[in-house]
């Protein structure tokens, strides 16, 4: 039994207990246990089978939870969980994901209607039957409809870190098959998209049959969807589909180009080829007049034959990249090595899991030159946000930690909440003593777009605010961005020299590419940060960099490519 499976059972149990309206204290003990297990590096089953050790030595795991873990490891299931599952239809867990419904709304639905599927709820809402339920109303009904639509759109898609991790494992595994020369990810993952529908892997070298047989022995394969001569599609235990294509080396580049997409980019590229007297396919670029193959071994070759400079995968969305490549005007995209600092992270003082020094040392090991510690402010009580007094004490601790490191800077910062009226959640006197102030909205997100615009504009009036963090508040596959007038905010940011964050956390990725591009066009600088809550999150930087590249950013557009001292200069407010 893997820890992940235990977490899954606990999480469903807690969710169902919420629908059942059970004791909040007991529900919390499940959630706390989940957090504790997520932070473990060992398998629970191994601890259990070690006579010298006790599960209850793990913080947040009491006697009750330890017994539950024992039961799961022994029988593969948990009776409390089974009992709750039998009480509600399977759609119950899905309904909890629908914004506006929540556990209470879900319970209410089950009390008043026979709902078996998401479509049932959708119908009820369309017919206006939800609004009369207690505490519901027409507005909430509309919101539920909208979030069901969003849920359906996102269903079956995966966050980039999940897809990326599985693809890396599979690539490594496939590379071990006899004769295999190259294994590459293509599709949306290679383009750095925020969510991934399925994985596309390209393999060359070795015999197709052997590679296919090898793939089917990958321990995470759950089922085979299709198995043809050149392509095998499987579903992994995690649910995601993988298309593996076996290719000849002489058409590898053409296939890479074709299967990287996007579809829109490919269509435009094929049009261009046609106009130039060529035919472009996954097998190569062919001259129409005599069917001679002119390119196909590498992607570079294909673009070159079409009189284009090489187009990086992240740009291939048919949003102007082909014209720019034809004119030799593509940006020199930012690279991860260009990033020198990380300006958004949390420690044990609030909701992070590691100390200031641990975060700094881990960042230094990743070749960064500076970080900012930006713990939460008091309004975020849930995350143990800090008041002025605690912030002042933390500044001292940060200076102390910094003095223990060689050639590394730790900026004292905060992630300060922006109140409903635009006020920042900490006194200016304290903000003035910080090296960098990152500000963000964490509450009251469903106000109107005008109100949100005013709220952000008012926040910008505070002279200490340097960076607006996760500016749109969206959560990938889970929550839409809140509305506001981005043009107005960007213009004001430019005037005042406020930077916009590209939050690298895989479920945020905020700003996203089109917004990033707008900032660049309007002359607003960006900062790419990880929002780490643990040293292991520092590796998420690569996803922020991918998003920045999708937004056409170059090194000079990003402030944390600067050395520490220059960075500090560059974030100084203009007004």
The footprint of Zn ion (CB under 5 A) covers 415, 531
In which element (H, E) is residue 4 found? Answer: helix 3-19
Helical axes 3-19 vs 63-75, angle rounded to 10°: 120
Q: If contact means CB under 5 to 8 A according to the sort of partner, which of Ca ion, Zn ion, ligand DGT, none does residue 262 touch?
A: ligand DGT
Q: Does 200 contact Ca ion by CB under 5 A?
A: yes
Q: Which residue lies nearer to ligand DGT by CB, 261 or 471?
A: 261
Q: Does 415 contact Ca ion by CB under 5 A?
A: no
**Nearest CA to 527 among 370, 412, 417, 401?**
370
Integer angstrom CA distances of residue 65 from 23, 263, 371, 546: 16, 49, 38, 40
Q: Which residue lies nearer to Ca ion by CB, 3 or 195?
A: 195
Q: Does 198 contact Ca ion by CB under 5 A?
A: yes
DSSP-derived 3-state class of residue 194: coil
Q: How far is the CB of 154 from ligand DGT (least distance, A)?
A: 11
**Nearest CA to 544 among 401, 335, 254?**
335
DSSP-derived 3-state class of residue 478: coil
Integer angstrom CA distances of residue 157 from 47, 266, 447: 34, 22, 29
Q: If contact means CB under 5 to 8 A according to the sort of partner, which of Zn ion, ligand DGT, Ca ion, none does residue 259 touch?
A: ligand DGT
Q: If contact means CB under 5 to 8 A according to the sort of partner, which of Ca ion, Zn ion, ligand DGT, none does residue 415 touch?
A: Zn ion
Q: Which residue lies nearer to ligand DGT by CB, 242 or 528?
A: 242
Binding stretches for ligand DGT (CB under 6 A) = 187-188, 193, 196-198, 200, 258-259, 261-263, 266-267
Q: Does 243 contact Ca ion by CB under 5 A?
A: yes
Q: How far is the CB of 440 from Zn ion (least distance, A)?
A: 6
How are beta strands 158-159 and 195-196 bridged, if at all?
antiparallel
Q: If contact means CB under 5 to 8 A according to the sort of partner, which of Zn ion, ligand DGT, Ca ion, none does residue 531 touch?
A: Zn ion
Q: Which residue lies nearer to Ca ion by CB, 92 or 160?
A: 160
Give the number of other CB atoms < 10 A from CB of residue 568. 17
The order of strands in the sheet holding 284-287 is 278-281, 284-287, 293-295
Tokens of 306: 């079409």
Q: If contact means CB under 5 to 8 A according to the sort of partner, which of Zn ion, ligand DGT, Ca ion, none does residue 153 touch?
A: none
Q: Which residue lies nearer to ligand DGT by CB, 197 or 563?
A: 197
Query: Is 348 in contact with 388 (CB distance < 8 Å)?
Result: no
Q: How far is the CB of 447 from Zn ion (least distance, A)?
A: 20
Indicate the burial class of 314 (C-beta count within 10 angstroms; 0-12, 13-18, 19 or more): buried
Which residues are 204's β-sheet partners? 182, 247
Q: How far is the CB of 161 from ligand DGT (least distance, A)?
A: 14
Q: What is the DSSP letter of 237?
A: T
Q: If contact means CB under 5 to 8 A according to the sort of partner, which of Ca ion, Zn ion, ligand DGT, none does residue 568 touch?
A: none
**Nearest CA to 115 among 138, 95, 99?**
95
Q: Which residue lies nearer to ligand DGT by CB, 195 or 377?
A: 195
Indicate the burial class of 50 (C-beta count within 10 angstroms; 0-12, 13-18, 19 or more): exposed
Q: How far is the CB of 231 from Ca ion (least distance, A)?
A: 10
Q: If contact means CB under 5 to 8 A according to the sort of partner, which of Zn ion, ligand DGT, Ca ion, none does residue 361 touch?
A: none
Q: How far is the CB of 245 from ligand DGT (least distance, A)?
A: 10
Q: Which residue lies nearer to ligand DGT by CB, 100 or 506?
A: 506
In which element (H, E) is residue 215 found? Answer: helix 208-216
Q: How far is the CB of 508 from Zn ion (least distance, A)?
A: 9
Is omega for the bond preceding 262 within 30 degrees of 0, making it cis? yes
Q: Which residue lies nearer to Zn ion by CB, 442 or 515?
A: 442
Please identify, among the stretches 65-73, 188-196, 424-432, 527-535, the one whose residues bind Ca ion according to the rule CB under 5 A.
Answer: 188-196
Rounded CA separation 24/39 (Å): 23
Q: Does 369 contact Ca ion by CB under 5 A?
A: no
Q: Which residue lies nearer to ligand DGT by CB, 194 or 402?
A: 194
Q: If contact means CB under 5 to 8 A according to the sort of partner, which of Zn ion, Ca ion, ligand DGT, none does residue 263 touch?
A: ligand DGT
Q: How far is the CB of 252 from ligand DGT (least distance, A)?
A: 15
Q: Which residue lies nearer to Zn ion by CB, 244 or 372?
A: 372
Rounded CA separation 424/391 (Å): 14
Q: How far is the CB of 316 from ligand DGT (least distance, A)?
A: 8
Q: Which residue lies nearer to ligand DGT by CB, 242 or 343?
A: 242
Rounded CA separation 33/80 (Å): 16
Dihedrals phi, psi of 169, to nearest 5 degrees: -60, -45
Please identify, among the stretches 201-209, 235-243, 296-304, 388-396, the one whose residues bind Ca ion according to the rule CB under 5 A.
Answer: 235-243
Residue nearest to ligand DGT (CB): 261
Q: Does 313 contact Ca ion by CB under 5 A?
A: no
Q: Does 187 contact Ca ion by CB under 5 A?
A: yes
**Nearest CA to 459 among 432, 438, 434, 445?**
438
Dihedrals phi, psi of 457, to nearest 5 degrees: -60, -40
Return residues touching Ca ion (CB under 5 A): 187-188, 198, 200, 243
């Amino acid at each position: 039994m893997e820890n992940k499976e235990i977490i899954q059972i606990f999480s469903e149990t807690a969710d169902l207990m919420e629908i059942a309206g059970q004791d909040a204290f007991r529900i919390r003990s499940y959630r706390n246990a989940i957090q504790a297990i997520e932070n473990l590096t060992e398998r629970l089953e191994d601890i259990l089978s070690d006579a010298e050790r006790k599960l209850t030595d793990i913080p947040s795991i009491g006697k009750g939870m330890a017994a539950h873990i024992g039961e799961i490891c022994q029988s593969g299931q948990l009776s409390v969980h089974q009992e709750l599952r039998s009480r509600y239809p399977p759609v119950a867990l899905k309904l909890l994901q629908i914004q506006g419904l929540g556990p209470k709304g879900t319970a209410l639905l089950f009390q008043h209607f026979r709902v078996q599927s998401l479509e049932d709820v959708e119908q009820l809402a369309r017919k206006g039957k939800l609004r009369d339920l207690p505490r519901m109303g027409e507005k909430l009904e509309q919101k539920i409809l909208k979030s069901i639509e969003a849920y359906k759109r996102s269903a079956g898609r995966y966050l980039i870190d999940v897809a990326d991790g599985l693809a890396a494992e599979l690539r490594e595994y496939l590379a071990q098959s006899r004769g295999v020369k190259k294994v590459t990810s293509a599709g949306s993952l290679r383009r750095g998209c925020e969510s991934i529908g399925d994985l596309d892997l390209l393999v060359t070298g070795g015999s197709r049959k052997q590679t296919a047989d090898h793939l089917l022995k990958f321990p995470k394969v759950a089922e085979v969807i299709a198995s043809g001569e050149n392509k095998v599609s499987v579903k992994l235990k995690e649910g995601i589909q993988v298309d593996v294509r076996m290719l000849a080396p002489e058409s590898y580049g053409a296939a890479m180009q074709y299967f990287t997409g996007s579809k829109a980019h490919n269509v435009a590229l094929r049009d261009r080829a046609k106009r130039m007297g060529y035919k472009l396919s996954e097998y190569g670029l062919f001259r129409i007049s005599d069917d001679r193959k002119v390119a196909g071994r590498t992607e570079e070759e294909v673009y070159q034959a079409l009189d284009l400079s090489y187009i990086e995968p992240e740009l291939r969305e048919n949003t102007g990249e082909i014209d720019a490549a034809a004119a030799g005007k593509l940006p020199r995209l930012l690279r991860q090595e260009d990033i020198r600092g990380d300006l958004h992270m949390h420690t044990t003082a609030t909701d992070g899991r590691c100390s200031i020094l641990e975060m700094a040392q881990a960042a230094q090991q990743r070749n960064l030159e500076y970080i900012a510690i930006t713990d939460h402010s008091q309004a975020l009580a849930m995350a143990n946000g800090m008041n002025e007094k605690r912030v002042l004490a933390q500044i001292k601790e940060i200076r102390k930690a910094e003095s223990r490191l060689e050639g590394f800077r730790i900026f004292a910062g905060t992630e300060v909440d922006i109140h409903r009226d635009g006020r920042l959640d900490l006194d200016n006197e304290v903000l003035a003593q910080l090296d960098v102030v990152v500000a963000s909205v964490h509450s009251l997100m469903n106000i109107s777009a005008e109100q949100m615009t005013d709220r952000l504009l008012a926040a910008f009036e505070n002279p200490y605010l340097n960076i607006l963090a996760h500016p749109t508040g969206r959560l990938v596959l889970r929550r839409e961005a809140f509305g506001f007038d981005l043009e107005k905010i960007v213009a004001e940011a430019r005037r005042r020299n406020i930077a916009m964050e590209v939050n690298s956390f895989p479920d945020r990725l905020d700003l996203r590419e089109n917004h990033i591009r707008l900032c660049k066009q309007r002359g607003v600088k960006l900062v790419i940060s990880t929002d780490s809550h643990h040293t292991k999150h520092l590796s998420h930087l690569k996803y922020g960099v991918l998003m920045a590249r999708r937004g056409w950013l170059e090194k000079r557009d990003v402030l944390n490519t600067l050395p520490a001292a220059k960075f500090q200069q560059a974030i100084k407010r203009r007004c």
